[in-house]
Homo-oligomer: A and B are copies of this chain.
Amino acid sequence: MKAEIINIGDELLIGQVVNTNASWMAALLNKSGISVVQTTTIADDANAIKSTLDQALSRAEIVLVSGGLGPTKDDITKKTLAEYFDSKFIFHEPTYAQVKKIFAARKFPVTEVNRQQAMIPEKCKPLFNKNGTAPGMWFEQNGKVVVSMPGVPFEMKAMMTEQVIPAIVSHFNLGTLVNKTVMTTGMPESMLAEKIKAWEDSLPSHIKLAYLPQPGIVRLRLSGKGKDEQKLKAEIDLLVGKLKTLVPEIIFGYDDISLEEVVGQLLLKNKKTLSTAESCTGGYIAHLVTSIPGSSRYFEGSVVSYSNRIKTDLLGVHAGTLEERGAVSREVVVEMAEGARAKLKTDFSLAVSGIAGPDGGTEEKPVGTVWLALAGPDGTEAALFHFGEHRGRNIRRSALAALNMLRLRLEK
C-alpha cells in the first residue's frame, strides 16, 4: 500500500516554517504498514494543487493533504478539492455547531466568514475537527482515497491518529511494517559498512537496511514488511542479535535513544554518580548529561578546566605533569579524572583534554588529538583519539566517545 503526502502553504516554500507535518505523518503511516513514496510541498495555488493531486494519484492509493483550510482568502484547498472532484457545496450543520462552540468559548462573535467554514463539498465524508473549526474531508475515487486535513499540527495530529489512520487500515484491509533502529557511535559509516558487509548481503529481500549518519553517530535502520507482525519482529530481533556480535562495542541502544540517556539509565540502575573534568569539550559532556530530565539523581557536577591554572587549582593536576607531558597527554587526563573524582566525590569521573582546533595543533599533536580518561571504583583507564579538523565535530565526537567509554564500563 502506497501513500503520498501533499503539504500546502506559502510559508513552507519561503522557508519560514519547517515542515514537521510531513515527517510526522510519514512516521505514522509507516508504523501502520503504509509506505510513503513521495512528499510534496506546494503553494496555495489551485493549478499546483490539481496537478500535484493528478501525479500523486498516479503513483499511490492514498493521498493525504494538509494545509490551506483556514477561513482567509489565501486558503483555497477546500474550493480546489471541490472543483477537482466536481462537487457542489452543501451546508454542514455539525461543523457549524463546532464553529459556534469554539467562538463562544473564546467570546468572539461568529461572522459570515466563519459560517462559510461549515460549507463542505457534497462528495466528501467530513471528519470532525475537535481542536479547530475546519473539518477534514475524505474523498474516494476509482478505489483511491484523498484526505484533506488542517495544516495546524495539533489539529492534524488528532484527526490523523483518531480518524484517518483507523479508516485507512479498515478501508484497505492492510498488513504490517516493522522498523528497528540500531544506534552506533565511534565508527564511520564506510568502515561500519565494510565490517558488516556479509551480514548486510545476507538480509532477506523483505527486510531493508539504511545507514543514517549524524556527527559521531550512525543509525542503522532495519525495515521489514509482511503480514505477521510477531514473526517479523522476531526475525528482525534475530538479525539485530547477529549484528551485535559483529560490532558489540559500538552499539549503544535502539530506536533513537540518545547515548546520554543510556548512560543516565545505567548510572541510575547501578546507583552510581558521575562528574566530569573537561578541557577541550568545554562543558559539552555536562550539558549532554544534564539535558536528560532527572539527571540530578546521578550527576553531581563538573569542572571545566579550560586553562591549565584551573586544572591545577581546582582538580589538583600537578604543575610538573603539565610541564613535562603537556595538557594533552595521558598523564594529565588521568590526573584530571582522578582529581575530579576525589574533589567532586563521585563514583565515576570522565575527563577530556584535546586540541579542538582550528588553532593549537602541532606536528606531534595535530588538531583533533584528544585524550579521554575514566576514573572509577575499579581504577582509571585512558585512550587516545584522532577526530579530525572540524572544531564543532571534535567537541561532539570527544563527548560521545567519553560517554561510550563510561557505558562500556557500566555494562561490564
Contact = CB atoms under 8 A, between A and B. Distances in A.
Interface of A: 10-20, 22-30, 35-43, 48, 52, 55, 70-74, 102, 105-108, 111, 113-114, 131, 152, 154, 179, 181, 188-191, 193-194, 200, 208-213, 215, 219, 221, 223, 256, 276, 278, 280-287, 289-291, 293-296, 299-307, 309-310, 313-314, 343-345, 356-360, 366-368, 386-392, 395
A105 B368 contact: yes
Given A282-B289, A287-B283, A38 B30 contact: no
Contacts of A395: 287, 290-291
A391 B292 CA distance: 9
Given A38-B41, A284-B283, A310-B301, A74 B14 contact: no
**Copy number of this protein in the oligomer?**
2
B28 A210 contact: no
A191 to B, nearest CB: 6
Contacts of A256: 16
A270 to B, nearest CB: 18
22 contacts: A11-B210, A14-B36, A15-B23, A18-B20, A71-B190, A72-B211, A105-B386, A106-B368, A111-B191, A113-B193, A152-B213, A282-B286, A282-B290, A283-B283, A284-B287, A286-B306, A291-B392, A296-B360, A300-B306, A300-B307, A300-B309, A303-B304
A15 B30 contact: yes
Contact of A304 (B27, B191, B301, B313): B301
A36 B16 CA distance: 12
Contacts of A24: 15
A12 B38 contact: no
Contact of A388 (B39, B105, B304, B387): B105
Given A74-B209, A189-B70, A307-B301, A16 B181 contact: yes
Contacts of A28: 15
A208 B212 CA distance: 38
A240 to B, nearest CB: 17
Given A38-B42, A111-B194, A282-B287, A357 B11 contact: no
Contacts of A285: 283
Contacts of A389: 105
Please name the 8 residue pairs, one residue from A and one from B, whose CB atoms are nearest each other, closest first. A282-B290, A15-B27, A283-B283, A283-B286, A15-B26, A302-B304, A301-B310, A105-B388
Contacts of A310: 300-301, 344
A72 B17 contact: no
B190 A111 contact: yes
Contacts of A191: 108, 111
A152 to B, nearest CB: 7
Contacts of A289: 282
Contacts of A12: 22-23, 26, 39
A69 to B, nearest CB: 12
B106 A188 contact: yes
A260 to B, nearest CB: 11
B193 A14 contact: no
A221 B10 CA distance: 10
A106 B386 contact: yes
A202 to B, nearest CB: 14
Contacts of A278: 283
A24 B391 CA distance: 22
